[in-house]
């Protein structure tokens, strides 16, 4: 039977790094039952003994003030692991030892692991490990998980703890009335811990225990609790005093490195400033996103060129097979694989840059300085990076929501970020706007941005109504110390996200590509007479409210494949393409039929400025591309939310198109 080891500690203490160092590839990632917080389990062995390692979410206490704290508390109380490893940061030892004070009252076996010893050494900090161990009466292991230092000693210590060579920790209390309250709890499991939480005023524990006891007995307990008028503050002060006594004479500082640390603190003051912090964040994000785009698209560009060449070659190579089968392979299945590959090439450097910012300790600052801004939409500061990234690519914006802890906040951010226009969108919007409005294009763009802000705000209100918060959790986060990036850790971070993302996202992309091809190819292999064109004609009554005919409607529908594909479709349905080039939407996306002056001239004589304005607004708020929908499904792991979001974008697109057309008829 496996021995269960639980890793507990505050965020940014190196807990996950230790977990990865111990388990390697022998780990499983999922969600905690009934929660959307990530669950990680893994295995490691020592002296022919198998150990199951559970990485509990980062939590500051066991008070249940966040989903992470609820999970950590309930796991320790209900599962009762064979050993609890409390992880603390050597460079922030006094602060990160608070978790040890929280779990100290549980009669379990404990091992204290102090990580990031290399960072502490750079900070000029020295920790007397043996002296701390004597004060605590539990094993203490100092290590540097990123370099593997101390891992063997850790395994040896944990093995000794679970076999009984190290006894369970002594019971302690942080308030004079703790033991008196514990006696009133009778045969309740962990009475000392529950008594401590009652004195701290933990509402969740109060509710649970009130249901357990009779009203008469509960009245006695409440009377005892009321005799301690300020027990919450007294308990907190006692815990901090206990920690201060622990670290006294245990930590020493070298004077030479103190000056360096002061310089970093001065920079941090600037980086978290309400104004200059935003300026610094903008340039850091601009550099990071720009670097990710340059690296990603330097790979995507030749891949895209190869995709076109291979796609055309497949048409020739597969001659002799049925035409529909040739088109299925060359225009649907192959482009779907290429789209997934291009998405992979873009997201790998993007995740790598996000991982780097998180690993060096900056991402927490970014979330902090934009928290007040995002609160106006009911979101936390962590959502801001997703909105900014969406201006380059909605896939990147949605993918970056992985840094958001709350499932509700993540869903709202995922849906809202796709309203932000990506770079490809501007190619279509810019072409039509410049063609019809010339020097007044800037006014159109301004109107689009104002409309976007209104839609974002109203959409956030709607989503908050649809997803009411059962409990409101503020942005509780720790500002981790700055330190050099560890590329092994960042690579693992990148691969962990990419692996799950590609598995779900690529599946949906392939399915949508197949559906798009099917509608645009059948029944006779010509897009102008296809079922997609028939759908466009069927939607003529709806399109007429926006001043659009079936040709503009199928261009909007085809933009789901890729925004730039809509211009290629317009070129064909307005007579600029040939029958062979117009077999399906996917073929057009590969070949990118010329849509320059010829298409511009035809559009100017075929549609009115009001219709052009409606097309621009409808396109601006339309369903995102296949890649974005695939990313949305991968991040939410919910087909229901993906379809709901797509329907919402469709309704919004239609509404904005109608409003723009009616406004255009009045003004133009």
The predicted pLDDT at position 84 comes to 92
Do 442 and 508 reside in the same domain of the chain? yes
- Which pLDDT score is estimated for 597? 47
Residue 193 · residue 63 · CB < 8 Å: no
Q: Kindly state whether residue 168 falls inside one of the protein's structural domains.
A: no
For the domain that residue 124 is a member of, what is the CATH number? 3.40.50.300
Q: Is 587 helix (H, G, I), strand (E, B) or coil?
A: helix
281 and 236 in a common domain: no
| Whole-number pLDDT of residue 321 | 87
Residue 226's pLDDT is what?
80
Q: 155 with 58, same domain? A: yes
Residue 577's pLDDT is what?
47
State the angle between helix axes of 550-558 and 565-573 in degrees (0 to 180), rounded to the nearest 10: 150
Q: Transcribe 276-292 into DSSP letters.
A: HHHHHHHHHHHHHHHHH
Contact (CB, 8 A) for 205 and 194: yes
Show the tokens assigned to 200.
Answer: 């701290």
**Residue 577 sits in the same domain as residue 620:** yes
Q: What is the pLDDT of residues 355-379, one digit of tens each?
A: 888 788 887 788 788 887 787 777 8
For residue 169, being part of any structural domain is answered with no
Say if residue 157 is in the same domain as residue 196.
Answer: no
Give the chain's residues under pLDDT 50. Answer: 33-34, 36, 577-582, 590-597
- Whether residues 45 and 151 share a domain: the answer is yes
Shared domain check, 63 and 208: no
CATH of the domain at 247: 1.10.287
Number of domains in the chain: 3
- DSSP state string for 405-455: --HHHHHHHHHHHTTS--HHHHHHHHHHHHHHHGGGHHHHHHHHHHHHHHH
Q: 98 and 192 share a domain?
A: no
Quote the CA–CA distance of 639 and 633 in Å, as a whole number. 6
The per-residue pLDDT for 312 is 78
Is residue 421 in some structural domain?
A: yes
Three-class secondary structure of residue 47 per DSSP: coil
Same domain, 242 and 380: no
Which of 217, 238, 253 lies at the terminal end of a domain, its last residue? 253
Distance separating alpha carbons of residues 103 and 11, to the nearest angstrom: 16
Q: Are residues 661 and 545 in the same domain?
A: yes
- The answer to whether position 375 is within a domain reads yes
pLDDT at position 471: 59
CA distance 580 to 587: 10
Residue 591, pLDDT score:
47
Asked if 348 and 374 sit in the same domain, the reply is yes
In this predicted structure, what is the pLDDT of residue 593? Answer: 43
CB burial readout 68-89, b (16+ within 10 A) else e: bbbbbbebbeeeebbbbbbbbb
Q: Is the dihedral of CA 249, 254, 259, 262 positive or negative?
A: negative
Write out the H or E segment, with its range, that includes residue 324.
helix 323-327
Residue 565 makes CB contacts below 8 A (sequence gap 6+) with 558, 559, 585, 588, 589
- How many Cα atoms occupy the beta-carbon half-sphere of 645 within 13 Å? 26
* pLDDT at position 659: 94
* Structural domain boundaries enclosing 219: 176-253
Confirm whether 360 is domain-assigned. yes
**Is residue 183 located within the same domain as residue 153?**
no
| Residue 8 included in any domain | yes
| pLDDT at res. 172 | 67
Task: Determine the Cα–Cα distance for residues 384 and 387; give it in Å rounded to an integer.
Answer: 5
Domain assignment present for 171:
no
Quick one: pLDDT at residue 222? 82
Query: 370 is written with which tokens?
Result: 């934009």
CA distance 464 to 604: 43
Dump pLDDT digits (tens) for 443-499: 998 999 899 989 998 998 898 888 876 655 556 666 777 778 888 778 877 887 677
Considering the domain boundaries, does residue 103 fall inside one? yes
């Amino acid at each position: 039977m496996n021995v269960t080891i639980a890793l507990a500690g505050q965020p940014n203490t190196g807990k996950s790094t230790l977990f990865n160092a111990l388990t390697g590839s022998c780990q499983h990632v999922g969600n905690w039952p009934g929660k959307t917080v990530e669950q990680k389990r893994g295995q490691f062995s020592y002296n022919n003994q198998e150990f199951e390692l559970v990485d509990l979410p980062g939590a500051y206490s066991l008070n249940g003030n966040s989903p992470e704290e609820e999970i950590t508390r309930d796991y320790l109380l209900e599962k009762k692991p064979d050993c609890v490893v409390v992880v603390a940061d050597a460079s922030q030892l006094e602060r990160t030892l608070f978790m040890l004070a929280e779990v100290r009252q549980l009669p379990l076996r404990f091992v204290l692991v102090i990580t990031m010893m290399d960072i502490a050494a750079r900070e000029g900090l020295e920790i007397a490990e043996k002296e701390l161990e004597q004060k605590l009466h539990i094993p203490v292991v100092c290590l540097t998980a990123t370099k593997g230092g101390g891992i063997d000693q850790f395994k040896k210590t944990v093995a000794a703890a679970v076999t009984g060579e190290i006894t369970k920790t002594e019971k302690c209390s942080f308030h004079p009335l703790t033991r008196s309250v514990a006696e009133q709890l009778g045969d309740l499991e962990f009475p000392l811990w529950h008594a401590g939480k009652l004195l701290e005023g933990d509402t969740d524990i109060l509710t649970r225990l009130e249901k357990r006891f009779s009203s008469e007995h509960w009245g006695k307990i409440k009377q005892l609790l009321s005799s301690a008028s300020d027990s919450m503050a007294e308990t907190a002060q006692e815990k901090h005093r206990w920690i201060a006594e622990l670290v006294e004479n245990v930590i020493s500082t070298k004077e030479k490195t103190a000056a360096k640390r002061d310089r970093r603190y001065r920079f941090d003051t600037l980086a978290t400033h309400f104004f200059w912090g935003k300026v610094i964040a903008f340039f850091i994000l601009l550099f990071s996103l720009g670097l990710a785009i340059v690296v990603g698209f330097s790979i995507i560009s030749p891949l895209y060129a190869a995709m076109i060449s291979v796609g055309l070659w497949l048409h020739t190579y597969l001659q002799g097979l049925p035409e529909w089968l040739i088109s299925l392979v060359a225009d649907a299945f192959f482009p779907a694989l290429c789209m997934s590959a291009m998405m992979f090439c873009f997201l790998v450097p993007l995740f790598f840059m996000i991982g780097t910012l998180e690993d060096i300790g900056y991402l927490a600052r970014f979330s902090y300085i934009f928290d007040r801004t995002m609160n106006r939409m009911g979101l936390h500061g962590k959502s801001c990076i997703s909105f900014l990234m969406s201006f380059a690519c909605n896939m990147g914006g949605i993918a970056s929501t992985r840094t958001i802890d709350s499932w509700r906040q993540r869903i709202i951010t995922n849906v809202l970020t796709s309203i932000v226009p990506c770079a490809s969108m501007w190619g279509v919007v810019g072409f039509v706007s410049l063609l019809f409005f010339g020097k007044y294009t800037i006014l159109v763009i301004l109107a689009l941005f104002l409309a976007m802000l209104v839609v974002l705000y109203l959409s956030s209100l709607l989503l908050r109504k649809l997803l009411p918060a059962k409990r409101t959790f503020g942005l509780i986060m720790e500002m981790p110390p700055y330190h050099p990036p560890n590329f092994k850790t960042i690579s693992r971070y990148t691969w962990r996200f990419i692996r799950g993302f590609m598995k779900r996202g690529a599946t949906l992309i392939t399915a949508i590509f197949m559906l798009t091809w099917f509608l645009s190819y059948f029944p006779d292999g010509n897009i102008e007479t296809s079922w997609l064109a028939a759908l466009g004609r069927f939607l003529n009554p709806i399109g007429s409210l926006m001043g659009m005919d079936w040709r503009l409607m199928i261009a909007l529908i085809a933009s789901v494949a890729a925004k730039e594909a809509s211009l290629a479709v317009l070129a064909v349905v307005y007579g600029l393409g040939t029958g062979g080039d117009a077999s399906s939407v996917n073929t057009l996306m590969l070949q990118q039929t010329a849509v320059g002056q010829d298409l511009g001239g035809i559009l100017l004589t075929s549609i009115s400025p009001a219709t052009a304005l409606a097309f621009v607004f409808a396109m601006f708020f339309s369903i995102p591309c296949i890649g974005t929908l695939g990313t949305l499904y991968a991040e939410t792991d919910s087909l229901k939310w993906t379809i709901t979001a797509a329907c919402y974008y469709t309704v919004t697109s239609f509404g904005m198109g109608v409003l723009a057309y009616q406004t255009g008829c009045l003004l133009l």
